[in-house]
Structure 1
Amino acid sequence: MPRSIQSTQPPLKFIPQRFNPFVLQIVRWLLPFVLRFRTRPWLPTGIVHIESKNAEILAKLYQQFQAGKIRFLIAFRHPEVEDPLCMLYLLSRIVPRVARQQGILLQHPVHSYFLYDRGMTVWAGNWLGWLFSRVGGVPIRRGRRLDRQAIQTARELFANGKLPIAVAPEGGNNGHSGIVSPLEPGVAQMGFWCVEDLQKANRSETVFIVPVGIQYRYVEKPWSKIDWLLSKLEADSGLPVNEIDPSASLNQQEIYYQRIYRLGEYLITEMEEFYRRFYHQDIPKTISTEEFASPNEILIARLHRLMDKALKVAEEYFGIQPQGNFIDRCRRLEEAGWNYIYREDIPDINALPPFKRGLADWIAEEADLRMRHMRLVESFVAVNSTHIQEQPTAEKFAETTLLMFDMLSRIQDTTFPGRPRLGWKEAQITVGEPISVTERWENLQGDRHAIRQAVSDLTKDLQVALEKLLE
């Protein structure tokens, strides 16, 4: 994350896709090192092993694609920031290896174009935009109702590009290997657009969407690191550290669950008072417990109520009506904030007189502050009442603790330091059965009015397919 923004910025320009096989090859050579030591070269924190299931499905699809028989889009899960690196490893190493083993001839490179959030270059730097453009990336403004240039570029590549295209249909990472966030309809819509574009060109390729699941696990269960991180969060929050007696008749999972529950309840109570007192939000100090079966459900209900209030604080400032789920609201707020910071209505910022420049900087700084309410909510969009309790694992405890770390870091430090790394990890990538978009299009029998429902149905089916890959 960048430091707090205190001045207006020039518009975020579209970064054209300029695929360069030489740059891609360099990235592939560096990939094993980057996977292991992406953020801290001196610590054992990265991904040491990636295994796959059903990679032969992709090998066969690439063979058919290169023969001009099909077009396809890879719809991959997005739980962590490492996902694109794992996908690159899958396509550059695992799929070619499986193809050789099964006698499937493939042309090189086995790669894909991909969509990425334009905001990544805001916090990482312009170098990332340069790199992504050379390895097939297309930037998209997630909150824009219609990012015409990005959508048109992606549509053109899907129908006519020399490579398939990959998209994360969740729109952003949610921090949970075992929970799929509600999908955005863009992937399904792109599938139907591709079929339509092919038919207009009198082409016979079949269009598929391929679901791909990604999950992570620690090589060694990081209980000691979780204990350290929880102790740090307890201390930073003002709670006594590790108040629960380890000698009590509780197993390890129960001890950590109680610590996380206690910390979460404390943080929610403090944030409720924060929004109640300083932002004049109507948050009752009690909640009716009749409709909830457990204290955990009550806590999650309080969390969701708090998230709603935090978003309303930002929405009221930007003049936005609450619409959709938490993810939808976050996306719209992000775009509204960017419109106040990256000013497309100012031809030349440096040509402004000091008075108008001062006003523009004022607006940009305040917009950045208001967007922080949305950033807090982003960390918890996938949290539910049963995730940890159902089959408690070290990974689930680590994920939840890291989300709370994100929250405290955003409040304590405007530079938002990198997450603590709790140990070596392994990735499991599972390729699902391709979904034929062409077949669904043919079932519409040319009824364009039914496409909206077809997009909705395909999105739901893709959601189910991704969730099954995590079972």
Structure 2
Amino acid sequence: MKPPSLKPPFIPPRETLWVIWLGERFLPLVLRRLSQTVKVTVYPEEWARLERLRDQRLILSGNHPGGCDPLVAFWMARRLGRRFNYLAARDVFVGFKRWLLPAAGCYSIMRGVPDREAIRTTRRLLAEQDRQVVIFPEGEVYQLNDITLPFQAGVVAMGFWALEDLQRLGKPLSLPIVPMAIKYRCLCHAERHIRAALGRLEAALSLSGDPLPTLYGRLRRIGERVVAAAEAEVGWKPPEGASLGERIIALKEHLLQRVAETLRLPPFPGKTYAERLRAGFNAVHAFVSEYEDAKTDYERRLHQRRLELAEPLHDELWRLYQFVAVSDDYVARHLTCERFLEVINRLEFEILGKSRTSVPREAIVRIGEPMELAEQFDAYRQDRRATVNRLTAALEARVVGLLRELMRQGTPLSVPDVASAG
């Protein structure tokens, strides 16, 4: 997988009816081909919540565990008999997708910096055109289905700005945010696929000798070899006597610190590694965008220098992103086929250059009670920041609550592996 481009331009939605028609017709095939998702399930009583809002403007907002989540939302639009718009990171619009995604209703937003064009487009779609917009508030594809990144406040903020536009236009003040959670579940016991993938990774790393008796033990040994190679590559010596988990944490923090120092910035903020990694991506994009609208030759040269400096930093952050799932306890805490495959896919990208393991999956979608922003409009006008932060936390809590209930849907591994992780 190639790291995304740092500077694509803003791309507005250019909905093309025949493209949407073809997408709806061939959606099951596309879901199967791109993500091995052969089934989408929504509980009937929760689908009724969305049905009641079928003809209203709304924001559909949920977790973002995989790159095919927008296709699941597209499936929901098809079933609802509506056309959604989708807010997506600019770096997704590359190659053929630069034409296809806008034709399907997508438009771009720049990570880490205020994107005026994206904000204006969102407000126009909601207030002037009464559209239904899909926004993933994590801002990143996290690839860990049971965990979420902290939600960013932009979803709620843009919703209130759209309410201000509705008031100015003299239209009824109503804008619900509909929380949803997506969980991908294996439709088979994937031990056979996991064993084959571990064998490929062991062969690529020249790990000889008899395989360890458990799947988890084999996965951990592969992780140790990858971490040792990464430490040697960057010249980082782990603390004496550090455990594998401590070495992973120290290596990640060392690499993040190196990127921050190159940009002459303080350590990236965030309570977790994933938050700091997201802050690192945002900082690189902000660094590049400073002279993005250059009007003189000198400013264009400055911008080019920044691009040249930022490119290797972006590559390094992209590699760190591939390691976001590599910890010493993520799989052990809840031994399921889904968690195993998430980590294996990351290791395959690092070791083999691409993911080679996939199994048939079901996407289970939960839909929560809508949050009507208009009910909080008076509070917003009295204290904008506090109201936006409070409702962002409430939205995150609703999505996380739905996701926790879905954790029980995971496919358990065999008993010996459970014992080994204890």
**TM class, shorter-length:** 0.7 to 0.9
Match of 1:49, as an amino acid? Answer: K
C-alpha distance 241-434 of structure 1, shift in aligned 2 (>3 A): farther
Separation (CA, whole Å) in 1 of partners of 2:269 and 2:127: 30
Residue in 2 that maps onto 1:2: 2
Residue 370 of structure 2 is aligned to residue 434 of structure 1: yes
Aligned pairs for 1:67-466 within 5 A: 71-93=57-79, 95-96=80-81, 110-122=82-94, 125=95, 127-143=96-112, 145-240=113-208, 243-244=211-212, 246=213, 255-275=214-234, 277=235, 283-287=238-242, 299-325=244-270, 326-336=276-286, 339=289, 345=294, 364=307, 367-381=310-324, 386-409=329-352, 416-417=353-354, 419-444=355-380, 446-447=381-382, 450-466=383-399
Q: Tell me, what secondary structure is at the counterpart of 2:54?
A: helix
User: Any unmatched runs of 5+ in structure 1?
Assistant: 39-44, 66-70, 97-109, 247-254, 288-297, 410-415
How large is the Cα RMSD of the aligned pairs? 3.0
Q: Deviation above 4 Å: which 4+ runs of structure 1?
A: 336-340, 346-349, 362-366, 382-386
% identity of equivalent residues: 27
Residue in 2 that maps onto 1:50: 40
TM (normalized to structure 2)? 0.84
Separation (CA, whole Å) in 1 of partners of 2:165 and 2:192: 55
TM (normalized to structure 1)? 0.76
Contact 1:217/1:427 (8 A) holds in 2: yes
C-alpha distance 55-241 of structure 1, shift in aligned 2 (>3 A): farther
Contact 1:15/1:139 (8 A) holds in 2: yes
1:361-396 C-alpha deviation (Å, 9 max, x unpaired): x87555322222201222344666654234421111
| Deviation at residue 233 of structure 1 after TM alignment | 2.0
Contact 1:235/1:241 (8 A) holds in 2: no
C-alpha distance 162-193 of structure 1, shift in aligned 2 (>3 A): closer
Between structure 1 and structure 2, the one with the greater Rg is 1
Separation (CA, whole Å) in 2 of partners of 1:338 and 1:146: 13
C-alpha distance 396-328 of structure 1, shift in aligned 2 (>3 A): closer
Residue in 1 that maps onto 2:418: none
1:322-354 C-alpha deviation (Å, 9 max, x unpaired): 3322243232244157559x96548799xx9xx
Separation (CA, whole Å) in 1 of partners of 2:167 and 2:293: 37
How many pairs are equivalent?
396
1:31-90 C-alpha deviation (Å, 9 max, x unpaired): 12111223xxxxxx7211111121111111113x1xxxxx31000221111111111112
Separation (CA, whole Å) in 1 of partners of 2:205 and 2:115: 40
User: Any unmatched runs of 5+ in structure 2?
Assistant: 271-275, 406-422
Higher mean displacement: 311-320 or 134-143:
311-320
